[in-house]
Structure 1
Amino acid sequence: MSITQQYLRDTYRARQRGEAGPPAPGAHDWQVVRELRDHRRFRAVIAAHPARGRIRRALGRWLSRPRP
Structure 2
Amino acid sequence: MTIAGAGEIAQRLGVRAVRATRTTEQLGAPAALFEKARLRIESARETALADAAEAHREMETGRVRGKVVLTVD
TM-score bracket, normalised by the shorter chain, equals under 0.3
Higher helix fraction (1 or 2)? 1
* Greater RCO (Cα-Cα under 8 Å, separation 6 or more): 2
Larger Rg over CA atoms: 1
For normalisation by structure 1, the TM-score amounts to 0.28
Normalised to the residue count of structure 2, the TM-score between the two structures is 0.26
Going by fraction, where is strand more abundant, 1 or 2? 2
